[in-house]
Amino acid sequence: MDKAVEDGVDILSLSIGRKGYKDYYTDSIAIGAFSVVAKGIFVSCAAGNQGPFKVSSSNNAPWITTVGAGTLDRDFPAYVSLGNRRKYRGISVYGGTSLPSGLLPLVYGSNGSNLCIPDSLVPAKVAGKIVVCDQGENPEVEKSAVVKKAGGVGMILADAEINGEELIADVHLLATIMVGHKAGKAIKRYIASQADPKAHFAFGKTQLGVEPSPVVAAFSSRGPNPVSPSVLKPDLIAPGVNILAGWTGAVGPTRLDDDTMRVSFNILSGTSMSCPHVSGLAAILKAANPKWSPAAIKSALMTTSYTTYKNGKAVEDIATGNAATPYDYGAGHVDPVAAIDPGLVYDLAVEDYLSFLCALHYTTTDIKKLTHREFPCDSSKNHSVGDLNYPSFAVALYANSDNSGAGTQKYTRTLTNVGPPARYNVSVSIDSTLTTSVKILVEPKSLSFSQAYEKKTYTVTFVTSAMPSGTDIFARLVWSDGKHLVSSPIAISWF
């Protein structure tokens, strides 16, 4: 990271991450990113691929833009036809040698061979057949290598139940179709009910305009923030599923040692693919607004993100089939056109991050480990995590002495006008049936800006009732001048 700064970069894109750290000063990426952001350079990082489990996000420091993954409106359809004339749709980017014509023998193993881990398949039982493999235990592309080594001619990869109906178009070493969990169960039931089960593959053309889109990827890591729950993570989502990308010629597209294929492009999925999308958008905003800080760029991307489709329905989480939440997508899915003209931004300077570290009760030694600078916290000041000028709100409530978890918390925010003179009015909507459990009060309810880069401050007071641990309530705060919508997600959680 230091070398990139020396080279004069404006944007730093990190499709890497690590889990397990308890504090930012023990996380090498957070340490390096602080130094980079302090020099005015935007840093975007992958949120991680540990979804759909909660509290799984990586790269959670507030000076990092943390990016989750969503789908595109593009699909690569493929079809599995069974001997009982049932047909199931899946996904595949296979373009190799065609399978023999007609129905082929179909087999599904047990006692570990169903996972198609190395040396688990018996060639005498697999040779010349299509093999059904369950997701899990080992990488999906390795499963196809195991099937090929055992003499199989094709593979059906059945998705795990926890991923819902998510379909990932990996490149494989032989003809492979991935099917969702429901289709996988149906295919396995067919095999169990037949003395001589058979199947046939058909590969379709690329399909565009797939709806609904985007949906949050099941693998995309989720909040709440495992390090500091008072900062909502991930920050937003961007395209990260089945992405067509340039590829090195040094290794094959499967990345397996015995893959002799060489290609210029590959299909990849992961938050490692959504992160560089946001990096590119940040570069566009930086070019259009050279004086904007990394925090201003992040704010523009976040406050203009969307959480509903054009028909008004909420963006879905593919893992559940239900509406996604700010713990899944942060502020929402990026909208490049809207981000160019956000109207208002939440800006942050190095001193704001240092005050945030004081609010976390970091010692002078802790802060020096993280920032490489001496910054003794002023004990006369009331440092509050709620005062970090972040474009989103996360209210973390803990059981107090009477085990109620009820109380009042006040957050302060400052908006900077980056548009024409305008008057903005605020609105708050709560996405929950538990509306009596929380009151959200904003003062003042309107802000008038008479010139560019003028700043105005407001406060948000959260009045909460007692709720069981594990309860989450989500809301949204929006400032609007009739043209711009400056939108911030709110997550209120009882721990």
Beta strand pairing status for 422-431 and 446-449?
antiparallel
Mean pLDDT computed over 20-33: 93
Q: 169 — phi, psi (to 5°)?
A: -95, 70
Per-residue pLDDT reduced to its tens digit, 106-123: 999 876 789 999 999 999
Higher pLDDT, 434 or 399: 434
- Please say whether the beta carbons of 154 and 99 come within 8 A: yes
Rounded distance, CA 241 to CA 143, Å?
20
Check whether residue 135 and residue 170 sit in a common domain.
yes
Check whether residue 191 and residue 82 sit in a common domain.
yes
Per-residue pLDDT reduced to its tens digit, 92-102: 999 888 888 89
Is the pLDDT assigned to residue 380 strictly greater than 90? no
Cβ burial of 311 (10 Å; 0-12, 13-18, 19+) is: exposed
Mean pLDDT computed over 420-431: 96
- Look-up of token digits 């395209």: 239
**Percentage of the residues of the chain whose pLDDT score is greater than 90:** 87
Is the pLDDT assigned to residue 81 strictly greater than 60? yes
Check whether residue 41 and residue 86 sit in a common domain.
no
Per-residue pLDDT reduced to its tens digit, 307-319: 999 999 999 999 9
What pLDDT, on a 0 to 100 scale, did the predictor assign at position 21? 85
Is the pLDDT assigned to residue 238 strictly greater than 90? yes
Could you tell me the pLDDT band of residue 488, with boundaries at 50, 70 and 90? very high
Say if 345 falls within a structural domain: no
Is the pLDDT assigned to residue 59 strictly greater than 80? yes
Check whether residue 78 and residue 199 sit in a common domain.
yes
Is the pLDDT assigned to residue 22 strictly greater than 90? no
Query: What is each CA distance from 105 to 143, 158, 305, 375, in whole angstroms?
Result: 18, 17, 49, 70
What pLDDT, on a 0 to 100 scale, did the predictor assign at position 100? 86
- Please say whether the beta carbons of 58 and 45 come within 8 A: yes
Alpha-carbon Rg of the chain, whole angstroms?
25
What's the CATH number where 181 sits? 3.50.30.30
- Please say whether the beta carbons of 170 and 267 come within 8 A: yes
What pLDDT, on a 0 to 100 scale, did the predictor assign at position 405? 66
Check whether residue 84 and residue 171 sit in a common domain.
yes
Is the pLDDT assigned to residue 379 strictly greater than 90? no
Rounded distance, CA 322 to CA 320, Å?
5
Is the pLDDT assigned to residue 145 strictly greater than 90? yes
What's the CATH number where 289 sits? 3.40.50.200
Say if 46 falls within a structural domain: yes
Check whether residue 56 and residue 78 sit in a common domain.
no
Burial 195-233 (b: 16+ CB within 10 A, else e): eebbbbbebeeeeeeeeebbbbbbbbbbbbbbbbbbbbb
How many domains would you assign to the chain? 2
Say if 276 falls within a structural domain: yes
Is the pLDDT assigned to residue 365 strictly greater than 80? yes
Is the pLDDT assigned to residue 401 strictly greater than 60? no
Per-residue pLDDT reduced to its tens digit, 313-348: 999 999 999 999 999 999 999 999 999 999 999 999
Report helix angle 28-38 to 350-359, nearest 10.
Answer: 140
Taking alpha carbons only, the member of 408, 381, 404 closest to residue 395 is 408
Check whether residue 138 and residue 226 sit in a common domain.
no
